[in-house]
Amino acid sequence: YWIEQKFGVENPIIKVLIYWSRNVTAIYFIQWVLFGWSTLIFDLNKHNAFGSAIIGLFILLITHFLVKREPVRQLFVWI
């Protein structure tokens, strides 16, 4: 609330945070499925902290754009 009041609702970062808070269940579900599969595919235990952070950022971006797609959002309408 404090950040929203300080920067305003029209700030692009605030808009993304509001979008994420409205779709938190879909984001959480998709993100952890992707993390689970990426652990198997990329063997995250072998990477250092920086490499794991880059993979995590990449997964966050994929999750964000997946949730923005209407067919994916429709899967979580019941929640």
Question: Binning pLDDT at 50, 70 and 90, where does residue 78 land?
Answer: low
- Helix, strand, or coil here: 33? helix
Nearest residue to 18 via CA among 33, 27, 57 = 27
> Is pLDDT at 22 greater than 80 in this prediction?
yes
Nearest residue to 31 via CA among 76, 77, 78 = 76
When pLDDT is averaged across residues 55-66 and rounded to a whole number, the result is 88
When pLDDT is averaged across residues 44-73 and rounded to a whole number, the result is 83
* pTM for the full predicted model: 0.68
> Is pLDDT at 4 greater than 80 in this prediction?
no
Helix axes 49-68, 24-42, angle to 10 degrees: 140
Give the C-alpha separation, 20 to 27, whole Å.
7
- Average pLDDT of every residue of the chain: 82
Give the C-alpha separation, 40 to 36, whole Å.
7
Q: What is the pLDDT of residue 19?
A: 87
